[in-house]
Structure 1
Amino acid sequence: MEFIFRDLPPTEVDVDTLPNVEGFAFADFDSVKSGWWLTERTAPTPEEQEITESVPYRQGSYDFSMIDNERFFNNREITYKLLYVGEEYRNRKGFEQELKRQLMPHNWGKLVDTHEPVYYWWAKCKSVEVDDSSDDATLEASIVFTAYPYAYTNHNEGADYWDDVFFPHWIWQQVKFSVNGSQDVNVKNIGSRPVLSSFVVTGNVKAKGSFGEVSLNDSNYKQTQVVLDIGDNKINLSGNGTIEFVFKREEMV
């Protein structure tokens, strides 16, 4: 990113302002394109669904919150604070109404955040609160979304779009295989939790792994899904045809 600096003494020269590039998009609303400035973003980790039991005369308690080493969470809340500067009061009132119209009526959908460009949230708008300041000619909006606890990758695993590559946490891997006989493959899930994988299949292919064994062909692959564990998923493929594992990672970010 290129930064623009100027000397501190007074100057008559116009100063270029920083571009407005941070914000979010939901449904047909884009905060950047709509002229709102993002001033604050809050996305705390979600609350765990805890199940604990205490036993008399025993220190501490038993925690039954995990199944198969997976923790379970409630939906999380993501809060954005936006600022709109300028315009007369009646125009600011219009911006307030338009903000509520474009966010509140919609059901669950993609929430895209410039802070997490590799991922998106599955969310819906919970509330919109707006404070108008006549002294400063500004609008301050606080927008709360309720979201699924994990973020999804923008594209399916194996569809490596260069703009989505996040080098600190990324792998390039093959998820589509040609099968002629029997072979062993390893499909990795580097996400934060096990995920469901569907398939695209031609011919007749059997897949056997920790999820059991499934027999797939042109007519039934669309109705079949399996769970891919976190980490390595060693799978034996047999038959004749092609098979593609179709899944998105889910990340706790």
Structure 2
Amino acid sequence: MEYGFHDLCISKILDQNENITEGFEFGSFNSTENSLWLVTRDAPTPDEFEVLETVPGMQGSYDFSDLGTGERFFQNREVSYQCLFISQEYIDRKTIEHELKRKLMPLGIQNLYDSHMPVHHWQGKCKSVSVDDDAKYGKLTVTVTFSCYPFAISNYAEGDDLWDDVYFPDWTFSEQKYSVNGFKIINVLNSGSKSVQADLKISGTVRIEGDVVAGKATLKRGLNSFQIIGNGTIEFIFYREEMF
């Protein structure tokens, strides 16, 4: 008598009664709530917008990519997830495929939340959804790719530090609200990976001098010095951006 065998490793690894905790959320679609097991995630560093000039007889080239700002500028990055959906029923696997395409592809730019980054999110749109349906083993392998802004954005404004959500290896507690009665020089810290625009919230009569245009202050990486004059308070509201 001959017996047919097939690999049961998927069933051994994935306990269907176990709660799924790793995954992504985009729009109204949450991978963990749709029984998708996250296998891999990939977010390689983005390509740079390069401006290179060469001169005959010179070794190498001149790099004008930072446009004199001291910062590098990047193209969108691709963030991708590979997930498994386990079911012997063909209709179940097909339904998940349809739901992914229907709920992800029509959306424009949205926040993309990843369980791997509890206090940051990506921002972009779904570029592609591809599937590999394996009827023999009752599994659907799903690959979802997003085209995203190159930097991860903090979920919370600087200064709104929630103890449970702080990521300690890369976090700096800093005050973003300052009081003045007369004249004061303040140093505002931007500990992110790039410069950001901060909205200014002013109470009382306060004038600010520095890199400020139309109620927004430009904060370069590191400490930023401003002069504030008057009587009242001024608050810098901004969201840190990181090259994860």
**TM-score scaled by length of structure 2:** 0.90
Distance across 1 between alignment mates of 2:75 and 2:39: 27
Distance across 2 between alignment mates of 1:58 and 1:244: 50
In the alignment, what sits opposite 1:33? 33
Distance across 2 between alignment mates of 1:43 and 1:55: 36
Runs (4+) of structure 1 exceeding 2 A deviation are 15-19
Aligned letter for 1:160?
Answer: D
In the alignment, what sits opposite 2:234? 243
The CA deviation at 1:164 is 2.2
The SS at the match of 1:33 is helix
In the alignment, what sits opposite 2:78? 77
In the alignment, what sits opposite 2:93? 92
Contact kept in structure 2, 1:150 and 1:252, CA below 8 Å: yes
Structure 1 stretches lacking a partner, 5+ long: 1-14, 215-222
Contact kept in structure 2, 1:200 and 1:245, CA below 8 Å: yes
Distance across 2 between alignment mates of 1:16 and 1:110: 29
Distance across 1 between alignment mates of 2:72 and 2:20: 38
**TM-score scaled by length of structure 1:** 0.87
Instruction: Kindly provide the CA deviation profile for residues 22-54 of structure 1, in whole angstroms up to 9, marking residues without a partner as x.
Output: 100000111011110100111000001111111
The CA deviation at 1:178 is 2.1
In the alignment, what sits opposite 1:110? 111
- Name the count of aligned residue pairs: 229
In the alignment, what sits opposite 1:101? 102
The CA deviation at 1:18 is 4.9
Distance across 1 between alignment mates of 2:174 and 2:64: 35
In the alignment, what sits opposite 2:8? none
Distance across 1 between alignment mates of 2:154 and 2:174: 15
Contact kept in structure 1, 2:200 and 2:217, CA below 8 Å: no
In the alignment, what sits opposite 2:4? none
The change in CA–CA distance for 1:197 and 1:23 in structure 2 (over 3 A counts) is same
Match of 2:216 among 222, 225, 249: 225
Aligned letter for 1:247?
Answer: F
Distance across 2 between alignment mates of 1:52 and 1:234: 33
Contact kept in structure 2, 1:52 and 1:63, CA below 8 Å: yes
Structure 2 stretches lacking a partner, 5+ long: 1-14
Aligned letter for 2:132?
Answer: D
Aligned letter for 2:51?
Answer: I
Contact kept in structure 1, 2:88 and 2:135, CA below 8 Å: no
Aligned letter for 1:130?
Answer: V
Distance across 2 between alignment mates of 1:240 and 1:246: 20
In the alignment, what sits opposite 1:5? none
Matches within 5 A, 1:41-190: 41-67=41-67, 68-190=69-191
Instruction: Kindly provide the CA deviation profile for residues 176-205 of structure 1, in whole angstroms up to 9, marking residues without a partner as x.
Output: 122221112221000001110111111221
Identity across matched positions, percent: 46
The CA deviation at 1:87 is 4.3
The CA deviation at 1:128 is 0.3
Contact kept in structure 2, 1:154 and 1:164, CA below 8 Å: no
Distance across 2 between alignment mates of 1:133 and 1:75: 33
Distance across 1 between alignment mates of 2:97 and 2:60: 51
Distance across 2 between alignment mates of 1:91 and 1:250: 39
The change in CA–CA distance for 1:76 and 1:62 in structure 2 (over 3 A counts) is same
Of residues 68-77 and 159-168 in structure 1, the stretch that sits farther from structure 2 once superposed is: 159-168
Contact kept in structure 1, 2:88 and 2:137, CA below 8 Å: no
